[in-house]
Chain A
Amino acid sequence: MFDYPNLGARVAATIAIILALFLVLFPFVWVFLESIKPPELGARPDVWVFTPSWANWQEVAFESDVPLNIANSFFVAAVTVLISLLCGAPAAYAFSRFRGFSGARYGILGAEMMPPAILILPFFLLLYHLQLIDSRIGVIAAHLTFVLPVVTWFLIGFFDEVPKDLESQAMIDGFTRFQAFYLVILPAVRPGLAAAAVFGFVLSWNDLFYALLLTGSESRTLPVAIAGFWTFRGIEMGKMAVAILIAIIPVLILSHSIQKHLIRGIGGGAVKY
């Protein structure tokens, strides 16, 4: 598998990689098996062979609020990302192209890193004044606090890589600067936009902290629902496993599609490779 000259090194490297793959994959395999274990075997750690049962999946699909939670998570993430792109793309372009914004770049990074602990208190109080607790609007606003900076930061890196000649040429052709941005540059960074959108979506979809404190039964998102399978009825392990899979599978597929753009985005133009 490896091209090390030394046989010992090749063997050791192979073992290390296989071990890493195992450690990463094992929890996924386990949670899948748990989801199809017949409920009466749920707590047995030593049973690996059994007739699969779809009882847990059926219960989650038809007798729980999980479908509503999925819809909420999807709605919140989609709207958050949409707003983030609308506000973030022009700003990222400005930060990338115009003088005088070098501090702003790091301001954006600072906003991205703001601990939720300091924002959650005012959010909670403000949203209750506005009567927006248990509403998806409140969660969207909260998620914007980290998705919007991330998306903006992400896009700066992509705009940086677009040659400046592109809009100069467009302006010579009679476009205004904004038209050049809108009609020429934006299409040129389409992969970046897609990657930023997906990354922002994943961040919003995965959030527990804000959603835990700002949602109620109508607006509850999937991560909060997952945490809620641990009740005084005992842990409903099989159903929780189903909910976990529902929460992670779409995200794994989505993020796989943007892997190669992630680096440039996360580096945000601060890291030049």
Chain B
Amino acid sequence: MNTLDRRMIIPPVASALALAAGIASAQEINVIIEEVPDYDIVRELTEQFMADNPDITVTFDAMPFDAMRDRILTSSLAPTATYDIIIIDNPWSEEFANAGYLEPLDGYIAATEGYDYDDFVPALADISVVGGATYGVPYYNYALGLIVRQDIFDERGLETPKTIEDYQTVVADLTEGDFYGAAMQPQRGYKIMEEWKNWLYANGGELFDADGNIIINNEAAVTALEQYIETFNAAAPPNSGSWGFDEALRAVASGSAATMLSYNWMLPALNAEGGMAGDLAGNFALHEVPGGKAVLGLWSWGITANSENKDAAWEYISWISGPEVAKQRVIMGGAPVRTSVLNDPEVWEQGFGEDYYTVLAGILEDAAPLSSGNNAEELIEVVGTELSAAVSGQKTAQEALDDAAAGIERANR
């Protein structure tokens, strides 16, 4: 009854009233979160939140990506949520919003002074808008960029490749002995889809056209896949057909490959003094992906519809994603999602330098999410399987993409 009543009142008013009346009782908010570098920063920052808000305890349930989806599901199906706050991967936004798992945040956003929602990079914020309602606010981006060994490029006088064709030539030329031009990630499913879709964009392709027709087997897509396979055969390390993120990253970090398409925030990690790249730290640079349009990844903060602590949950989300803390988070190494933060000289200086943020702003300007719709997760898996079949030589590019198109149709049944 309590929860029902509270829903009647506009939530922020309720929280304001509660605060004003000093009846704020101790509340515990559970957050499901993925174990990634950005989480380490969030956890550290949250200490400060809890110090400032002694009545709210934030508890994180950190886990690997694989475990998250069914956890979120069970929490959302239960009468009361295990998790008050979930982080939402961009392919899940529509699915979860349409399933009724998520609380619309528009009322909260409007009522939170100084939150400056419009400051979020629009391409990112829009991902969580489903049917006109806002179900999430950006946490961190994982847009893809081209990471290169700038020292090698400079030494050889190589230009940064602007098109896929340039990229193909450059990485083929760089391949020599057991040094390889490109560490690629053709692992079945999510990984290859995430990487190849940049190639698809570079050729002007997409999964669906404006009318929602499947166009993944059109000429642009076939060309993109053929180019991808050619490059894999010419410039990727041998026996790397099942490589995913760790393998490719390790190849670049250990100096056996010159470039990779990866999350923009891997750059600081590679360049970190005493980090994974050892003596090579400082030699890496980030550029826009060849072709210019990048695959966009985003994690958003969302509140579960069946949470009993929605006000406190928003209290926390608006704090961690608000302008002040967002800036602090980025200075500590987090991946930016706010325009003001991207353009803040103080961030440049204390963070990773102006170049990095300028390039990143450029990437975010022209980027689109991996997949959307109610069945995005399944669709990614289906297409990613066919792409991997083509790369491993079981099907031609055309066959694989025809099968992918048929698979998308089945997935959307």
Residue ranges of A at the interface with B (Cβ–Cβ < 8 Å)? 43, 124, 128, 131, 133-134, 212-213, 216-217, 224, 227-228, 230-235
Q: Which residues of chain B in 34-78 are interfacial with respect to chain A, using CB atoms and an 8 Å cutoff? A: 34-37, 61-67, 70-71, 74, 77-78
A128-B36 in contact (CB<8A): no
Interface segment, one of B110-118, B154-162, B245-253, B306-314: B245-253
- The verdict on B406 contacting chain A, using a C-beta distance below 8 Å, is no
A233-B61 in contact (CB<8A): no
Query: Taking each of B67, B78, B276, which has the highest tally of chain A beta carbons within 10 Å of its own beta carbon?
Result: B67
> Per-residue CB proximity of B364-383 to A under 8 Å, as 1/0?
00000000000000000000
A232-B245 in contact (CB<8A): yes
A234-B276 in contact (CB<8A): yes
Q: How far is the CA of A212 from the CA of B74 in the complex (A)?
A: 13
Number of residues from B at the complex interface, CB < 8 A: 24
Minimal beta-carbon separation of A236 from chain B (angstroms):
10
Kindly list chain A residues whose C-beta atoms are within 8 Å of the C-beta of B63: 217, 228
Given A131-B78, A233-B35, also A217-B250 (CB < 8 A): no
Cross-interface CB contact of A232 among B35, B77, B78, B250, cutoff 8 Å: B35
Q: How far is the CA of A233 from the CA of B37 in the complex (A)?
A: 7
> What residue in chain B is nearest A234 (Cβ atoms)?
B246
B246-A228 in contact (CB<8A): no
Minimal beta-carbon separation of A36 from chain B (angstroms):
21
Q: How far is the CA of A232 from the CA of B276 in the complex (A)?
A: 14
- The verdict on B358 contacting chain A, using a C-beta distance below 8 Å, is no
Q: How far is the CA of A43 from the CA of B64 in the complex (A)?
A: 21
Cross-interface CB contact of A128 among B35, B66, B77, cutoff 8 Å: B77
Kindly list chain A residues whose C-beta atoms are within 8 Å of the C-beta of B61: 216-217
- The verdict on B318 contacting chain A, using a C-beta distance below 8 Å, is no
Q: How far is the CA of A166 from the CA of B34 in the complex (A)?
A: 61
- The verdict on B82 contacting chain A, using a C-beta distance below 8 Å, is yes
A231-B64 in contact (CB<8A): yes
Q: How far is the CA of A228 from the CA of B245 in the complex (A)?
A: 15
A133-B36 in contact (CB<8A): no
Kindly list chain A residues whose C-beta atoms are within 8 Å of the C-beta of B64: 227-228, 230-232
Q: How far is the CA of A228 from the CA of B34 in the complex (A)?
A: 11
Minimal beta-carbon separation of B136 from chain A (angstroms):
20
Kindly list chain B residues whose C-beta atoms are within 8 Å of the C-beta of A227: 64, 66
Residue ranges of B at the interface with A (Cβ–Cβ < 8 Å)? 34-37, 61-67, 70-71, 74, 77-79, 82, 245-246, 249-250, 254, 276
Q: How far is the CA of A232 from the CA of B246 in the complex (A)?
A: 8
Q: How far is the CA of A227 from the CA of B65 in the complex (A)?
A: 11
Q: How far is the CA of A141 from the CA of B67 in the complex (A)?
A: 21
Kindly list chain B residues whose C-beta atoms are within 8 Å of the C-beta of A124: 70, 74
B67-A228 in contact (CB<8A): yes
Kindly list chain A residues whose C-beta atoms are within 8 Å of the C-beta of B62: 217
Known: A128-B74, A232-B245. 14 other contacts (CB 8 A): A43-B254, A124-B70, A128-B77, A131-B78, A134-B71, A134-B74, A212-B67, A213-B70, A216-B71, A217-B62, A230-B246, A231-B35, A232-B64, A232-B65
Kindly list chain B residues whose C-beta atoms are within 8 Å of the C-beta of A134: 71, 74, 82
Kindly list chain A residues whose C-beta atoms are within 8 Å of the C-beta of B36: 231-233
Kindly list chain B residues whose C-beta atoms are within 8 Å of the C-beta of A234: 246, 249-250, 276
Q: How far is the CA of A259 from the CA of B333 in the complex (A)?
A: 54
Kindly list chain B residues whose C-beta atoms are within 8 Å of the C-beta of A217: 61-63
Kindly list chain B residues whose C-beta atoms are within 8 Å of the C-beta of A230: 64, 246
**What are 10 A-B interface contacts by the 8 Å CB criterion?**
A43-B254, A131-B78, A131-B79, A217-B61, A228-B64, A232-B64, A232-B245, A233-B35, A234-B249, A234-B276
> What residue in chain A is nearest B62 (Cβ atoms)?
A217
Q: How far is the CA of A12 from the CA of B182 in the complex (A)?
A: 47
Kindly list chain A residues whose C-beta atoms are within 8 Å of the C-beta of B79: 131
Minimal beta-carbon separation of A214 from chain B (angstroms):
9
Minimal beta-carbon separation of B89 from chain A (angstroms):
12
Minimal beta-carbon separation of B340 from chain A (angstroms):
27
Kindly list chain B residues whose C-beta atoms are within 8 Å of the C-beta of A231: 35-36, 64-65
Q: How far is the CA of A58 from the CA of B79 in the complex (A)?
A: 40
Q: How far is the CA of A133 from the CA of B74 in the complex (A)?
A: 7
Minimal beta-carbon separation of A165 from chain B (angstroms):
55
Kindly list chain B residues whose C-beta atoms are within 8 Å of the C-beta of A228: 35, 63-64, 67
Q: How far is the CA of A224 from the CA of B63 in the complex (A)?
A: 11
Query: Taking each of B64, B79, B276, which has the highest tally of chain A beta carbons within 10 Å of its own beta carbon?
Result: B64
Q: How far is the CA of A232 from the CA of B66 in the complex (A)?
A: 11
Q: How far is the CA of A230 from the CA of B67 in the complex (A)?
A: 11
Kindly list chain A residues whose C-beta atoms are within 8 Å of the C-beta of B77: 128
Kindly list chain A residues whose C-beta atoms are within 8 Å of the C-beta of B245: 232
A216-B82 in contact (CB<8A): yes
Kindly list chain B residues whose C-beta atoms are within 8 Å of the C-beta of A224: 67
> What residue in chain A is nearest B276 (Cβ atoms)?
A234
Minimal beta-carbon separation of A113 from chain B (angstroms):
26
Q: How far is the CA of A228 from the CA of B68 in the complex (A)?
A: 11
Kindly list chain B residues whose C-beta atoms are within 8 Å of the C-beta of A213: 70
